[in-house]
Amino acid sequence: MVLVGVATCVTSNRFTRRHVLRTVGTAAAVGLGGSGVASSAAAQDDDSGAADTDSPYTETYRDTIDSVVLVTVTRTIGGDRGGGGGGGLGSGFVIDEQHIVTNNHVVQSAGEGGIEIQFNNQEWRLASIVGTDPYSDLAVLGVEDMPDIAAGLPLVESEPAIGQEVLAIGNPLGLNASVSQGVVSGTNRLLPSPAGTSIPATIQTDAPINPGNSGGPLVNLEGEVLGVVFAGASQTIGFAISSRLANRVVPALIEDGSYEHPYMGVGVVPVGPDIAEAHGLDEATGVLIVQVVPGSPADGVLQPVSRGRPSTGDVIVAINDQEVTTQAQLQTYLALQTSPGETVALEIVRDGETQSVELTLASRQEFDRAQMPNGGGPADRPSIPSPDRG
């Protein structure tokens, strides 16, 4: 599956939403706009003549749109404003009287004074970066003198139901204040992050997601944020970073500018029938350790499979008495229920016998920094040939 990053490049130093509409309108007319099975509608700059309707989608849209913003990067690191190097365009949403949430990949190239925010009433504000987290692809922006129309949108704490109706609100292709409708198609997906790791607990939706939607809210019909729009893979497959994860990351970004992710240091694969038979398991469930990262919390505690010996290696079947059936379930538990420095109890199957072991989780960032040469970043870490690592 090819994931499409959904921030849009821009090169002008200052523009209005009407300018963007004029720019992309022709492109959309020749097939770049795309539409999915779910319905999609773009609001006009002046909707004063819109007819009243009883649609729940319209009511939700009206209740939330003043809190959704256009995020533009007009000055990049090492570049000048309007210097032709290109910036980024995406979406974001207000969470309180000072802060906006968006995707890290929308603003990661921004230089000082290079982020501009436009609200639904056409007011502009400069924004500064309060905190970023490339591992979850979340960022928090600070805005002084927030417009009165912008109220904070709440992030829900619970997992959404599959089939639940949702709206993706943002600025696809720069088309301002747009809304697309769909349902929650899946939960607890694992998606690759720009940092080279996996983002757990991700929400899948069939609401159309296009470039420019990045960082906008995926809301339920009560106007509550279920997730932060992240990427689109096709016209009917889009993804959002779960508000359950954002509820952990965003407060830390506001308080400290960063978030420390828990880290075990293992590579795992799902247990299928062949692996289950080799390990004497009654059912094909759990995850097999295929790699232990040297120096990580798992080093010396867990054993990986040996080449050519399929019956070797530990199978994790539970963590802190919670059953583990898939990689996604393990990583979601680690991301949402644990913290660096916490000791977790693992139930494993080793050599056909069930036993319990404990390990103390590290901070992924601290471990990655220790493994990288001076000046390195997340993209510079050594390649780990395993499908999922946590």
Show which residues are catalytic: 105, 137, 214
Burial of 362 per CB tally in 10 Å (0-12, 13-18, 19+)? buried
Describe the crossing of helices 327-337 and 243-256 by its angle, rounded to 10 degrees: 40
For residues 364 and 263, the answer to whether their CB atoms sit within 8 Å is yes
Residues in the chain: 390
Q: What are phi and psi of 158, to 5 degrees?
A: -100, 160
d(CA 349, CA 92): 45
Rg (alpha carbons) of the chain, rounded to whole number: 22
The strand pair at 262-263 and 237-242 is best described as: unpaired
For residues 178 and 42, the answer to whether their CB atoms sit within 8 Å is yes
d(CA 362, CA 263): 5
Helix (H) or strand (E) segment spanning residue 61: helix 56-64
d(CA 158, CA 146): 28
d(CA 32, CA 260): 39
For residue 97, give both structure tokens: 């009287």
